[in-house]
Amino acid sequence: MHMIMVRLEVKPERLDDFLKLVTFNASESRKEPGNLRFDVVRSIDSPTRFGLYEVYRDAAGVQAHQATAHYARWRAEVEALLVTPRISERFTSIFPEPYS
């Protein structure tokens, strides 16, 4: 499995725009055959801080995701809504064992 964790700090005045964009992207991403999970989480202590937790079956699933129209829209629009550039990190599963 391949995971991506993204941290985002949203401009307070752009919060509604961000919520529409992120839920659109997450909803469409969940429909992809290589996607196993796509969660959008929000900080309790700082309501303009968000995280994305994405899980894909394999590297091909990640590549397919990044080739979609909804991902292109996300990339084109999200930076204008953020205080600072998003932070994205990639991970692979150690436990439980990855899918074969």
- DSSP-derived letter for residue 84 is S
Q: Whole-prediction pTM value?
A: 0.91
pLDDT bin (cut points 50, 70, 90) of residue 79 is very high
pLDDT bin (cut points 50, 70, 90) of residue 31 is very high
Measured CA angle at 54 (ends 2, 94), to 5 deg: 35
Side-chain half-sphere of 26: how many Cα atoms within 13 Å? 18
Task: Please give the single-letter amino acid code of residue 42.
Answer: R
